[in-house]
Structure 1
Amino acid sequence: MRISFEGPSPDAIDTYRRQVRERLERASVRAVAVTARRGRAGVRERMAAAGLGRLGNAVDANADRGAVHRGPDDFSTSARFFVRSRSERTLGTLAAYLQGAEIAPTRGRWLWVPTDSIPRVAKRQRVTPALWRANGLDRTIGPLVLIRSVNGYPLLVVEAVGVDASGKKRSAKALRKSGGARKGQVRKEMLVAFIGVPRTARAARINITSILETARAELPAVLSAELAKETR
């Protein structure tokens, strides 16, 4: 008895290999896109948790949808993270929180750091000594007066002002015309509004590399799930 076995033809093998590679490429493109979205979400969530508000929304991710870079024996697909804003202020703030920075005054000798006794924002603008009068705070709280601290650094203070009796922050208000404090407040003879410093350092608060490494570590599991979809 003679038995013979004929395997698949070379053309059939090539077709099978091409189909497998195409499935793997499609799954890889989707897996990278999913991982990029997870990394972006991780950055934004971590920045919001660090008290940076919506600053993380400036960070975006863009996967090469459908783009596969093929070599003779392999292929690759990728995603990139970038900052959507072109604002120098936003870029500088991001760099400071992600990398740390030393901040020096750009105008004048002193960098004025606000205390938690005054509002952060007035008329949708960040409160600064330069905008104090323009935003009406010289009337609603009181005019700024320059004095020197014990270390020789300048302070901008408000004299004779009302503050919340329970110690609530950012509660400063001008006294009544009679000189008394408003309801729920007590009179304070001097309130420090701004502290003048020649420069200050800001430590990095977000480790973006760690966040993206966590997302990247999930890539094999994501790819496995996407490959499973190709066999259904």
Structure 2
Amino acid sequence: MPRLAAKIGRANYAGPYRAFGLAIDRRLELAALEATDQAAKLALRSIRAAMQGAGLGRLGNGLGSASDLSSGRGIHRRGADAWSASGVVFVRSRSARTRGAIEAYTGGADIRPTQGRWLWIATDQIPSKAGRFAITPELYVKTGLEQRIGKLIFLKSVNGRPLLAVENVGVAITGQSRSARSLKRNGTARKGQIAKQLVIAFVGIPRTSRAARVDVQSIMRAVQADLPRLAAQALEKVSS
């Protein structure tokens, strides 16, 4: 995630104005620390709001903010005549899945299968999740869907993409999605269902692209541009 920074050059005070100048510098330092801290918090709130608005739920909770003020580091001295203060928005979650999702939704991603040739996408005939995870053929077997629905068989569609299907399955008469269930022992459908000879469970694709939904760089540029206003407010605060 980008960093917000305020860089200031120190005036060369001398003679009777030295004590006055140093007092001004100290107030400027405190104002910059306060402004960058507030900017980091503002950026975090803005990114979280953008994520929620983009339909990403609570994914923004995987982010955090920090600053030189909140960490207790103070300003960064850059030689004898300059210093800087900064704030940052960062990914605080330790979950690889959350970190990957944040990266994909803020920067876009090209998703490729990690095992085998195909990335398997579930159809609306079977459950889309296995706990917190998107359903895969491996999870289909591991979580017992093979017993509750049926064994997967490999097919090739007319466009050359592979399919994983289940034979002799019951589905809801109403057309309700994700209703596939195995037939009874006598080969008939369960109550409220009709029997189907074949149900497509997964479609295989070689890869897929996910476009970024949140423009973090644009948000950070807007907050960076607002730093002078925040600094002016902070200067009034530390001078009162």
Is the 1:162–1:182 Cα contact (8 Å) retained in structure 2? no
- Report what 1:180 is aligned to: 189
Which ranges in structure 1 are unaligned for 5 or more consecutive residues?
1-8
The TM-score, its normalising length taken from structure 1, stands at 0.80
Compare 17-26 and 50-59 and name the one that shifted more: 50-59
Taking structure 1 as reference, are residues 181 and 49 closer, same or farther at Cα in structure 2, changes over 3 Å only?
farther
The TM-score, its normalising length taken from structure 2, stands at 0.78
Compare 23-32 and 57-66 and name the one that shifted more: 57-66
Is the 2:35–2:234 Cα contact (8 Å) retained in structure 1? yes
Deviation at 1:129, TM superposition (A): 0.3
Q: Structure 1: which amino acid aligns with 2:178?
A: R
Structure with more of its chain in strand, by fraction: 2
- Report what 2:3 is aligned to: none
Q: 1:42 aligns with which of 42, 46, 51?
A: 46
Q: Structure 2: which amino acid aligns with 1:68?
A: I
Deviation at 1:176, TM superposition (A): 5.0
Taking structure 1 as reference, are residues 169 and 32 closer, same or farther at Cα in structure 2, changes over 3 Å only?
farther
Taking structure 1 as reference, are residues 166 and 27 closer, same or farther at Cα in structure 2, changes over 3 Å only?
farther
Which ranges in structure 2 are unaligned for 5 or more consecutive residues?
1-13
Q: Counterparts of 1:224 and 1:188 in 2: how far apart (Å)?
A: 70
Taking structure 1 as reference, are residues 162 and 52 closer, same or farther at Cα in structure 2, changes over 3 Å only?
farther
- Report what 1:133 is aligned to: 141
Q: Counterparts of 2:42 and 2:194 in 1: how far apart (Å)?
A: 50
Q: Structure 1: which amino acid aligns with 2:111?
A: I
Q: 1:107 aligns with which of 109, 115, 127?
A: 115
Aligned residues: 222
Taking structure 1 as reference, are residues 106 and 38 closer, same or farther at Cα in structure 2, changes over 3 Å only?
same
Q: Counterparts of 1:84 and 1:127 in 2: how far apart (Å)?
A: 26
Q: Report which of the two structures shows the higher radius of gyration computed on alpha carbons.
A: 1
Q: Counterparts of 1:161 and 1:50 in 2: how far apart (Å)?
A: 37
Compare 19-28 and 118-127 and name the one that shifted more: 118-127
CA root-mean-square deviation: 2.7
